[in-house]
Structure 1
Amino acid sequence: MKHPVIPILAAAIWIVLSEFVRNEFLLKSYWQRHYADMGLAFPDAALNGATWALWSLCLSVLLWMLLKRFALIEGIGVAWFAGFLMMWVVTGNLGVLPFALLLYAVPLSLLEVAVAALILHFWPRQA
């Protein structure tokens, strides 16, 4: 693929939208309640959203690099491990991860990475 910018951006947009829907519509009240129980305000300022957009772009670039070297399933697995599993280990260690949320987050995040990988894998390639 000569010019990967467009498929990388398309995959990043998918990741941003997936994260937004999951965390704003499906799980936001759960996050807010969890943070309130810890005596903290849930971080949902615009800067937090911009940081998640940057994270989404980084995950998309990582996935693109992985798919250049590995099979589709392997790339999905490594990207999910690096993007999500390691993040949950850190947030769990910090004590701010509501572990019950993983029941929903694990399958939805796997779907998120799989769709992003399919976007990158099947995007029309330049000759």
Structure 2
Amino acid sequence: MKTIKKTILPVLIATIWISISEFVRNEFLLKSYWTDHYESMGLNFPSEPINGIIWGIWSLCFAISIYIFAKKFTLMQTTFIAWFVGFVFMWLVIGNLNVLPFGILPFAIPLSILEAFLASLIVKKVKI
């Protein structure tokens, strides 16, 4: 039972938070940036159920990473490392593939830092 409370529960709650944050940011706040950018490349923005499932898996992996970082680092260190690994690396890759609408970054950067911070806080508080 301790394992569930100290390991699975913080990861699960952080995964839920990350999933909600990603969905709200990308489906409500920034959707037009994504769809316009993809249309300008002659593509349709991928929003089929399989894409949502993959984002759910990404959210779980991000939460697991935060859990691992949180075991060794402070809250602020965990937040920064998680944000850097989870978002900066992703933006570098999708920017390199030319599928990142750079106009989202003024919104996405602070919102993603908030997402990483709250996920890190959840893991730190729930695992204790």
Mark yes or no: TM-score above 0.5.
Answer: yes
TM-score scaled to structure 1, two decimals? 0.95
Cα separation, partners in 2 of 1:5 and 1:63, compared to 1, 3 Å: same
> Which residue pairs with 2:32 in the alignment?
29
Q: 1:95 aligns with which of 98, 106, 127?
A: 98
Query: Which blocks of at least 5 consecutive residues in structure 1 are unaligned?
Result: none
Task: Give the ranges of 4+ consecutive aligned residues of structure 1 lying more than 2 Å apart after TM superposition.
Answer: none
Report the AA paired with residue 119 of structure 1.
I
Match of 1:41 in 2: 44
Query: Which stretch of the first structure deviates more once superposed, 26-35 or 52-61?
Result: 26-35
Q: Which runs of 5+ in 2 are unaligned?
A: none
Matching residue within 57, 61, 66 for 1:58: 61
Count of aligned pairs between the two proteins? 125
After the TM superposition, which residues 12-27 of structure 1 pair with which residues of structure 2 at under 5 Å, given as runs? 12-27=15-30
User: Structure 1: how far apart are the matches of 2:36 and 2:71?
Assistant: 41
For residue 108 of structure 2, what is the amino acid of its counterpart?
A
Instruction: Give RMSD over aligned pairs.
Output: 1.1
Shift of 1:7: 1.1
Alpha-carbon shift at residue 123 of structure 1 (Å): 1.1
Overall identity of the aligned pairs, in %: 50
Q: Please report the TM-score for the alignment, with normalisation by the length of structure 2.
A: 0.94
